[in-house]
Amino acid sequence: LESSLLTQPWASVCFGESAFLAKACFRDTGYVLLISDLSSVWYEIANTEAVGQRSKELNKRLTVHVSSFLHRLRNLICPLLAGQPDTATSFSCHRTASGLSLHVKSELSGLPFYWDFHCCPAPVEMVSRHLVRPLIRMSLALQYQVQELTSLLLQKDAEIEDYRESGATLSRDRLRTEPFQVEMFQQNFMAEVRSASN
């Protein structure tokens, strides 16, 4: 389950009034849920036995197979992560010193359906595997891309300057551009980043 979770993208979601990043994977054998507020990371892995036991505690009137509960949970969580939440379903969360509880209220087969995800703090290796390492890899890839684009822009500026020195002129003056200033671009970019983070 956790290996399959690596292929799932992070999604921005709101549970009640709180904003989180989350990813999840549901299988016939259970589920794994990973949630972060960028200060802490919580997770829950539940197999069919745990799902069956909790479903009996929370949904005494429902007598359906564990696979139906897992299917229902997948149909509630996955659309939410895709930005298409079920309007008939409500989510709320409660943080404690020992973890985070996510409460779900919906319906199944015409009856009320309740579920509680009991998430505990994720171990360091899990946080590294799912959050830190992917972010660092993406950051390095973006840095390389910026370097390549900067090099290309400087080459284009040199090409344009060569045309001008050869007597070429623009047929439309509105297409004229100023030479690319690397230092100015970096200063403006960092200023925007600082502004966005405040």
Cα dihedral 24, 90, 119, 55 in deg (nearest 10)? -90
pLDDT digits (tens, 9 = 90+) for 27-49: 999 999 999 998 999 999 999 99
pLDDT digits (tens, 9 = 90+) for 115-144: 999 999 999 999 999 999 998 999 999 999
Q: Is the pLDDT of residue 196 over 80?
A: no
Structure token digits, residue 47: 């197999």
Which of 99, 121, 143 delimits the end of a domain? 121
pLDDT of 17: 80
Q: Is the pLDDT of residue 197 over 90?
A: no
Average pLDDT over residues 164-187: 85
What b/e string do you get for 87-107 counting C-beta neighbours within 10 Å, with b at 16 or more? eebebebeeeeebbbbbbebe
Higher pLDDT pick, 29 / 171: 29
Q: Is the pLDDT of residue 7 over 70?
A: yes
54 and 111 in a single domain? The answer is yes
Q: How many residues are recorded in the chain? A: 198
27 and 53 in a single domain? The answer is yes
pLDDT of 35: 95
What confidence category does residue 198 fall into, taking pLDDT thresholds of 50, 70 and 90? low
The H or E element containing residue 31 is strand 30-36
62 and 15 in a single domain? The answer is yes
**CA 88/CA 57 separation, integer angstroms:** 22
pLDDT digits (tens, 9 = 90+) for 75-128: 999 999 998 887 888 899 998 888 999 999 998 878 888 999 999 999 999 999
Tell me how far CA of residue 176 lies from CA of 8, 158, 159, 169, 184, in angstroms: 44, 14, 14, 10, 19
40 and 74 in a single domain? The answer is yes
76 and 168 in a single domain? The answer is no
The answer to whether 94 and 18 are in contact (CB under 8 A) is no
pLDDT of 188: 87
Q: Which amino acid is at 107?
A: E
Give residue 21's domain range. 1-121
Number of domains within the chain: 2
151 and 169 in a single domain? The answer is yes
Tell me the pLDDT of the chain averaged across its residues.
Answer: 89
